[in-house]
A and B are shown apart, each in its own frame.
Chain A
Amino acid sequence: MPRTPGDGLTRSGLLVLFTLLVPCIHLAAADQRGGSLSVEPSLLMPMGPLGQDYGAAAQADLDFDLGINPGWSMIFGAGYTTLPNLVQKDNYLTLAPAWIGLKSKAQFRQDVEIFWDLALEGTYAKEFYQNSGSGSIETLDGGGVAGAGFDLWLSPSLLIGTEVKAHLVVEGRDVYPFLQWGLRLGLRG
């Protein structure tokens, strides 16, 4: 059964992202129990068989944390990265994950919060050649992400922190793991 570039998956990808984000925005307006908004420059490392073909790259994340109570938050966010092919220097793999899940958090000291989180994740992926080709392949995969880290509260409204995430992208019966380490800088409420 022939398939053509894209397969209309870009449209379905946007639909899933929209479906993920709309309820979260609604919750943000309704919930006034704190949380945070942070940007997270990070390093994404493909593991497993994909790690033999593609190298690590910088990833930019945007993380939202909506406090449910002092111990739990609802989280959602999205990221973007482009991994370089280690062998074919003109080939790249763009990944744009978006996730929604729960975060458990606890005060370690007065100004330090440790946490772990677990989320469902959808990942838009696109493989392409930058200079020597015109084609591309796109897809949308499901999966999950688990993370753990800590935040340091610099002031009542400013935080910095670090987090390690393990992304598991599911494609058919195969699971493709990615490891991410990031530094968080954000506003908390």
Chain B
Amino acid sequence: MRRAGWIAALLALAACNANPLLHEASANYAPLAVGETWTYQGSGGQVLSRAVAASLTYQGRAAFLVQEALNAVPQPNRYWSFNGGDWLQWNSSLSSWELYRRLPYVTGNSWPIASGSPTVTMETKVDSVENLSLASGYYANCFKLRTVSQSYAGGVTTTTESDAWAAPGIGDVQYGQVDASGTASVLAVITAYQVP
């Protein structure tokens, strides 16, 4: 009986592990539907609002029209589409659909981002899973996505890094950046959202 007790204890420990893979694998980290809205507060007080305004056919693909406004000033429209698990974004400078994110997120996975410039390379990598406690709520099992951009000019390479945290069932909840000295800072956090 003692042996069975040890086995049961081990299995119970396994059930309480801190890496909820199946939860992450079955969750929707990009819930896109018409009518959804997200509002972010920038570190400088600015307000970014994002809304899925319409579902339409754009440049040959079924797509979502995403409208953004910064401090109530409309920003250029975004167009998002899905090709299986690949999340595509219309790149107006390249006039093509380009890979934006690859779903489902798997820690360590990475994909190239089209920069539109031969001297700039970009890549997004799924960095880690984190739990975020923000003023608007507690967001568990967020995937942290780090985009590294390297530009080459005059023999000098400049690297910039930006982060996005995606929460299950919500989407992006926080944005950040890493400066040249390696110091990370938060650029914007979600303050409200409407996702069915």
Instruction: Tell yes or no: A142 within 8 A of B by CB.
Output: yes
Q: How many residues of chain B are within 8 Å of chain A by beta carbon?
A: 41
A51 to chain B, nearest CB (A): 9
Question: Is residue A187 contacting chain B, with contact meaning CB distance below 8 A?
Answer: no
Contact residues in A for B107 (Cβ distance below 8 Å): 3-5, 135-137
Of all chain B residues, the one with the shortest Cβ separation from A176 is B22
Contact between A135 and B126, CB atoms less than 8 A apart: yes
The answer to whether A141 touches B15 (Cβ under 8 A) is yes
Q: How far is the CA of A139 from the CA of B126 in the complex (A)?
A: 17
Say yes or no: A52 contacts B104, CB within 8 Å: no
Contact of A139 among B12, B19, B109 (CB under 8 A): B19
The one of B7, B24, B144 in contact with A19, judged by C-beta atoms closer than 8 angstroms, is: B7
From B11, B27, B128, B144, contact of A16 by CB (8 A) = B11
What does the 1/0 interface line of B140-159 toward A look like (CB < 8 Å)? Answer: 00001000000000000000
A45 contacts chain B at the CB level, 8 A cutoff: no
**Chain A residues with CB below 8 A from B129, complex form:** 2-3
- Report if A96 contacts B (CB, 8 A): no
Also in contact, A133 and B14, with CB within 8 A (given A20-B7, A125-B21, A171-B20)? no
Evaluate contact between B22 and A174: CB separation under 8 angstroms. Answer: yes
B residues neighboring A (CB under 8 Å): 3, 6-8, 10-27, 84-86, 102-104, 106-111, 126-131, 144
